Structure 1
Amino acid sequence: MEYDGSGSSGNEERRNTRHTRQQIEKLEAYFKECPHPDEARRHMLGKELNMEPDQIKFWFQNKRTQSKAQDERSANILLRGENDRLQTANAAILEALKNVVCPPCGGPPLGKEERERSVQKLRLENIRLKKLREQLTKTLSKSKLKGPTMVDSLASAHRQQIFDTCFSYEANQNILVYRPNSSGPVTSQTVQPEYHIDITQVPEIAASAIEELKRLFSIEEIFWVESSIDGAYMIDRESYENFFHAIRHIKSSSARVESSKEFAVVPIEATNLIEMFLDSEKWKDLFPTIVTAAKTIPMLESDVPIKENCNVVQVIWEKMHILSPLVPPREFVIVRCCQEIEKGLWIIADVTISVNINKDPFSAPCYKRPSGCLIGALPNGQSKVMWIEHVEVDDKSITNHTYREVLFGRSGYGAKRWIATLERMCERMALSSVLTIPSTDWSEDTMIARGRRKVMKLGERVLNLYNEMLTMSGKVEFPQGLNGGIRVSMRMNREEGQPPGYVISAATSISVSLAPMQVFNILTDNDTRHQWDILCHNHPVYEIASFSTGSNEANRVSILKPTLGVDMGSLTMAQNSDKDAMYMIQDCYMDALGGMIVYAPLDRNTLELAVADHIDPFMIPVLPSGFLISNDGRRSTVATDAEDGGGGSLITVVFQILVAGPKSPRPSEKSVDAVSTLISDTVQKVRALLHNNPPHV
């Protein structure tokens, strides 16, 4: 008898003529990719298969029930087998204990009372050694304070404070305790719990992840199938779980598995790229639009023996976020391992390691199965990178419906986004290191032309600060209901490199019918910018310098100059002289999945400081605002060119405004309302501008 996945036997199928074989095959294929289709997708499938939406709905419900039962049976079989193996091993150990002898004297083993006395002695010795360590630490700290300079002493004390704040090690339990440091920028602060990590797991997890990733790269025809939704490749769940005996780590019925792969050739030496992957700060800077925080957790190497197939093993805490405050961030504690497979070819694998939070078991909403990349060295300083992402996630209930299509369609945190970001950042690093000005760059201001590389660095920082703001976490929230769907927060900013005082941030997301590239071209058009940008004060803006940051002509950092000052009511920026003249630094880019347009106002004095030789661009005070543009995930095929392929766009608008100085009283809700009104008016003007530019036919 044939089974159609809906709970009906083959005889019932022939009697009721409910589903044809072609319908069943199509439904089965779609189920592998999306077991929880929404109403729009059910209607689409119904039209395609000539079925009623209710039939589609009930088929998927029954199929999920059947699949869950099969998964449970498979898990039970694996668990029973594991139980049998453990019982056999336990019996063997008990039998061996009967015949064990004391190694020093060859006599019978210690009795229970002797073992308890021995354990007690070890505990007392452990307490004594801990006290001795504390005394040595205090003595060392005192000796450091007698060092040659106060600066050295303060720096040393600061480093020790950071280490003591973040890490501790329970040697007798092989447990590493990690507390994400809260001393970073205000824009990235979050209240973090303690992570308790059993470091004895690390070697086996690393070795297993490397071997699994090798198989996923080398035997592609077995594990990879082409998606019927967007044509991208995804892991065939049945083949994968049968081969690796995998079980689900997230048991929720709303959980899903995301899998994808992508490759590219990037302009960077393979060894330099690997170095950046193995340095958490450089890793964060390499993927600024995805990774918002990353810290390598130190371990005692003597307690973590490295397996043969792992040249480097790390434990990393990382937090990722993309697109909008409406998209929840993802947080992982991963084991990262690197192996040189052969000369000029490396594999880097990431996999989640189980942790306890505050010593209690923790069930995270996302779990990274073995993922990572294969990096091969190519001539002329290039590298070929093949990337695999494989993640279990349960974020349906906390993701706004506007962005679900993007996330569920694998263009959110998938391999395509990682590769697109890597390509763009490698191109940017290559261009920023060029000493001579490329023919694509120009500036009518000699001072800015000389400071081209500093301007590019400042533009990069503007983008990074904007990305950090997308989470809008760790700040005082105002009632969202009062702000018409706009998320508003306020913080006291004390960070170097940002204007000190009270800063109000506001963000909202909208959808439009234009493709991302069309939206980008309209919003970067200097002739129409004054129609939506309040900084232009209804007057034209012109570009005085432009520096390319990538092979795509849309990727550039620019210096813009409005023709007049700006009156924003209580938020005023006046121009009384050339030194007070307002400029804007704007950094923007586009790739296959969308792009960003981020800008920040600068006066002439600040701009001159930004390009000065003795000033670090990362210390220039800027407060960025701008747009993040993404495809809406509803096109049938995700295009390789952001301008083609149909479909609409999702736009996230973020404003940041300094409303009071550091010594001023806390601003009232009137200031919050003013910023909310400002972003609402801007969104309305942007909608009107986009409406007057219909999609190209």
Structure 2
Amino acid sequence: MEGSGKFNLVCESSEGNANQRATEEARETGYGTNEILEVASSDEQEIHLGSSSSSRRRQKHRHTRDQIQELEKFFKANPHPDERERLEIGRKLNLDANQVKFWFQNKRTHMKTQTDRHDNIILKQENENLRLENIAMKEALRNTICKKCGGPTFQVDRSTVEQNLMIENARLKEELSRITRVIRQLSGKPSSSLPSPLPHGPANPNNIAMESLAVPASRSEIGAAAGGINIPEKPSRYLELASSAMDELMKLGQVNAPLWNRNMETGGETLNFNEYVRSFPPLLGTKPLRFISEASRATGVVSLRSVDLVESLLNADRWREMFTGMIGSCATMEVISEGIGGSRNGVLQLMQAEIQLISPSVSARAMKFIRYSRQQAEGVWAVVDLSVDADRREGIMCRRLPSGCILQDLSNGFSKVTWVEHTEYDERPVHHQYRRLLSSGLGFGAQKWICALLRHCEWLKAVSSPTANYQLDQATRTCLKGLARRMVNIFCAGVCLTGGQRWNLVSNAPRIMTRRSMNGPGPGEPSGTILSATSSVWIPTTHRHLFDLLLNKDMRCMWDVLCHGNATQNVAHFPMSHDDSNPNSISLLSSDTSTEQNPIMVLQETASDMTGSLIVYAPVDLSTISVLMNNGDTSSVALLPSGLYIVPGSGDELGAPGGERGSMVTVGFQMLLQDLVMPSLITADTISTVNDLVSRTELGIKEIVGSARQGG
């Protein structure tokens, strides 16, 4: 297209301007242009010796590593030091003023060149996206049909349509220029540092529609001209926000340093908030008072195609299933846009969800947000979330800034997933023992979502694997997995108080809650009053080591007070991975006290990754086992699960000497009080029994760790 060609000329022109600036700076410093542009890390310089104008000898000077590190620190604080500051830096680093001056000039030129190249890449990608949308819009205009008779519509004079588009496009360009000027003034950036939102050049009827699509407000109007409907004011605002959020997500997913810093503790990446504020306008306005920011990025390769992942993310039930344990509840409130041509490209939904960390010390994050999907290129998709109406809700605890994933198809049905998670939240309700976990990104961050997605893909593969590799056939494995998933969701709802259940607080430390099962969200609950008891405790060992100790069948009787001090053994075992070192599995356990007249069976699911470890189990009867083995419907099976959730935690938050590495362990129980009609009438003896149950479990865990240390 002609517009594409002109757009490329703009990109080349920006590169030429960067080279011209480098040349002018080279004249001022005495460097050759190539010498300045080819500096890669600002660790080398050439110092002129002698005063001859005909020939100058250059001696290469290589700074030491310490000098480079100190210079980098000074540059971050002030990239334009004056003469006095350069002299002071030179004295500290044993360098003369010219060396310091040349280093800063080279560093500034190198940063400008990197920024210009990145802007050119973004502009080329946006140009390609606009070209594809333009083609789709032309096709829609060409194939419009009459809604009343189903026949083709009367052809409108193309010159009239083009003239109207030109007028509308000019108005939109003027409005966009005004908004861009305001943004630049607020961000304090010069015009040259921000990419041009639209290709320049004279208007051309062939690319008028493409240029109009660059402004979100014009999409609804052109859609109406193509046989669509007029979009109301609020959904139109959502479309604008979605488009801006998608652009921000793509840049966050593609740009590296200095926008992102490697987190050496977790292996992921955390956002440089100072650089973020300079690079992006605030889509949701200023950060609320006393809120803190949490942002992380992580990458993984999963065994699903990008289009299948997009389909699951746009379906609330499949999204919750994909991230079992992380999502307490979710629903699609409204479908604002159904996509282009029946595809998932351009789908925009209004959703709500409860995102949870399995602990009574961290409140679930309830959010209302828009979710927008867009195909960036062949085999490349992106899905972005953004909180909406957060400032209108009383008692709002958090809001989600542009977050989501970029999906790129690889060979053999795999996809590369780049996940970005960015949230602002009120830290005050979070217990101090969990604050470091949340700030590191392991609580709600990108690595948490990537690990859960990898685990889900492993489970899908395990369920569909040939029956020769497992004790159970495929249908039984599917049935068993469905029951275990419901067990985990019930356990998490009891700990996190999510899923719409109404609980009554009985006591704290441990926290004891009750509710009537008739108020539950669905079938499969016992009749009576359900009691939930939860508590968290710090244990001086790593979460994975503790997880391995708890799975030792010979030590289970030390912490599982429900097995009455008896050992257990596996009756059926369903591993969720082909890797023998992977502990993710579902098991049916039998106690040594089981008899034909009084069988004691336990359904258990275990899962572990770098962000935490989970053990959930519930007693089941023979009829349930029979339903499982015959691939029956398990939705009516009543479950009262108990379990443990373990996350990394440091002892320095509790005053432990030397900040000893450890774990935060959440213990949770659910039990049935059949004779209790009113949940508020629970007796003191019952409370005492529950307190003893929790304390004996915590004491048993500590004894296991102590025995392991003495044995080691």
Shorter-chain TM-score: which interval? 0.5 to 0.7
Q: Give the CA RMSD over aligned residues.
A: 3.7
Equivalent position amino acid for 2:487 in 1: V
CA distance, structure 2, for counterparts of residue 410 and residue 581 of structure 1: 44
| Aligned 1:374-453 pairs, distance under 5 A | 374-395=406-427, 397-438=428-469, 441-442=470-471, 451-453=476-478
Partner of 1:457: 482
- Measured after TM superposition, the shift of residue 464 of structure 1 is 2.0
| 1:592-632 CA-partner distances (Å, limit 9, x unpaired) | 1121011001122221123323x223332111101001111
1:317 maps to which of 348, 352, 368: 352
Equivalent position amino acid for 2:510 in 1: I
Distance 1:79 1:370, change over 3 A: closer
CA distance, structure 2, for counterparts of residue 221 and residue 664 of structure 1: 59
CA distance, structure 2, for counterparts of residue 228 and residue 545 of structure 1: 40
Partner of 2:633: 616
- Say whether the 8 Å CA contact 1:328–1:398 is kept in structure 2: yes
| Aligned 1:198-347 pairs, distance under 5 A | 198-227=234-263, 232-246=268-282, 249=285, 251-252=287-288, 254-299=290-335, 311-347=346-382
1:491 maps to which of 515, 538, 550: 515
| 1:43-96 CA-partner distances (Å, limit 9, x unpaired) | xxxxxxxxxxxxxxxxxxxxxxxxxxxxxxxxxx969968xxxxxxxxxxxxxx
Partner of 2:49: none
- Say whether the 8 Å CA contact 1:499–1:621 is kept in structure 2: yes
Confirm or deny that 1:468 pairs with 2:499: no
CA distance, structure 2, for counterparts of residue 679 and residue 315 of structure 1: 41
CA distance, structure 1, for counterparts of residue 710 and residue 409 of structure 2: 42
SS for the counterpart of 2:553 is coil
| 1:72-131 CA-partner distances (Å, limit 9, x unpaired) | xxxxx969968xxxxxxxxxxxxxxxxxxxxxxxxxxxxxxxxxxxxxxxxxxxxxxxxx
Partner of 1:365: 397
Partner of 1:149: none
Alignment length (residue pairs): 488
CA distance, structure 1, for counterparts of residue 496 and residue 652 of structure 2: 27
Partner of 1:524: 551
| Aligned 1:561-640 pairs, distance under 5 A | 561-564=590-593, 578=596, 580-613=598-631, 615-632=632-649
Distance 1:28 1:415, change over 3 A: farther
Equivalent position amino acid for 2:620 in 1: L
- Say whether the 8 Å CA contact 1:611–1:617 is kept in structure 2: no
Confirm or deny that 1:554 pairs with 2:554: no
CA distance, structure 2, for counterparts of residue 349 and residue 430 of structure 1: 27
- Say whether the 8 Å CA contact 1:601–1:623 is kept in structure 2: yes
CA distance, structure 1, for counterparts of residue 588 and residue 355 of structure 2: 30
- Say whether the 8 Å CA contact 2:506–2:513 is kept in structure 1: no
- Say whether the 8 Å CA contact 1:281–1:294 is kept in structure 2: yes
- Say whether the 8 Å CA contact 1:515–1:646 is kept in structure 2: no
Distance 1:401 1:379, change over 3 A: same
CA distance, structure 1, for counterparts of residue 711 and residue 406 of structure 2: 40
CA distance, structure 1, for counterparts of residue 421 and residue 465 of structure 2: 33
- Say whether the 8 Å CA contact 1:286–1:425 is kept in structure 2: yes
Distance 1:671 1:248, change over 3 A: same
Equivalent position amino acid for 2:614 in 1: M
Partner of 2:692: 677
- Measured after TM superposition, the shift of residue 249 of structure 1 is 4.3
| 1:138-171 CA-partner distances (Å, limit 9, x unpaired) | xxxxxxxxxxxxxxxxxxxxxxxxxxxxxxxxx9
CA distance, structure 2, for counterparts of residue 675 and residue 367 of structure 1: 36
- Say whether the 8 Å CA contact 2:465–2:474 is kept in structure 1: no
CA distance, structure 1, for counterparts of residue 366 and residue 701 of structure 2: 34
- Say whether the 8 Å CA contact 2:358–2:496 is kept in structure 1: no
- Measured after TM superposition, the shift of residue 578 of structure 1 is 2.0
Partner of 1:691: 706
Distance 1:29 1:547, change over 3 A: farther
Deviates further, 662-671 or 249-258: 662-671
- Say whether the 8 Å CA contact 1:317–1:332 is kept in structure 2: yes
The TM-score normalised by the length of structure 1 is 0.64
Confirm or deny that 1:649 pairs with 2:666: no
Partner of 1:350: 385
| 1:344-370 CA-partner distances (Å, limit 9, x unpaired) | 11011111112575xxx6573212111
CA distance, structure 1, for counterparts of residue 248 and residue 557 of structure 2: 54
CA distance, structure 2, for counterparts of residue 595 and residue 695 of structure 1: 24
CA distance, structure 1, for counterparts of residue 235 and residue 441 of structure 2: 32
CA distance, structure 2, for counterparts of residue 293 and residue 664 of structure 1: 27
CA distance, structure 2, for counterparts of residue 513 and residue 258 of structure 1: 27
The TM-score normalised by the length of structure 2 is 0.62
- Measured after TM superposition, the shift of residue 274 of structure 1 is 1.2
Distance 1:526 1:230, change over 3 A: closer
- Say whether the 8 Å CA contact 2:534–2:669 is kept in structure 1: yes
Q: Which runs of 4+ in 1 moved over 6 A?
A: 20-30, 77-80, 662-665
Instruction: For structure 1, list consecutive stretches of 5 or more residues without a partner in the other structure.
Output: 1-19, 31-76, 83-170, 176-197, 566-576, 637-644
CA distance, structure 2, for counterparts of residue 314 and residue 506 of structure 1: 37
- Measured after TM superposition, the shift of residue 406 of structure 1 is 0.6
Equivalent position amino acid for 1:686 in 2: I
Partner of 1:180: none
Deviates further, 369-378 or 667-676: 667-676
Partner of 2:52: none
| 1:483-541 CA-partner distances (Å, limit 9, x unpaired) | xx200011111341122211111000011111111111111111121122233222221
Distance 1:663 1:688, change over 3 A: same
Distance 1:538 1:373, change over 3 A: same
- Say whether the 8 Å CA contact 2:367–2:398 is kept in structure 1: yes
Distance 1:631 1:580, change over 3 A: same
Identity rate, percent: 25
**Structure ranking higher on relative contact order (CA contacts 8 Å, 6+ apart):** 1
CA distance, structure 2, for counterparts of residue 591 and residue 506 of structure 1: 25
- Say whether the 8 Å CA contact 2:541–2:661 is kept in structure 1: yes
SS for the counterpart of 2:525 is coil
SS for the counterpart of 2:635 is helix
SS for the counterpart of 1:461 is helix
Distance 1:280 1:557, change over 3 A: same
CA distance, structure 2, for counterparts of residue 475 and residue 600 of structure 1: 22
CA distance, structure 2, for counterparts of residue 249 and residue 696 of structure 1: 57
Equivalent position amino acid for 1:694 in 2: R
Distance 1:437 1:225, change over 3 A: same
- Measured after TM superposition, the shift of residue 228 of structure 1 is 6.5
Instruction: For structure 2, list consecutive stretches of 5 or more residues without a partner in the other structure.
Output: 1-66, 78-180, 187-228, 654-658
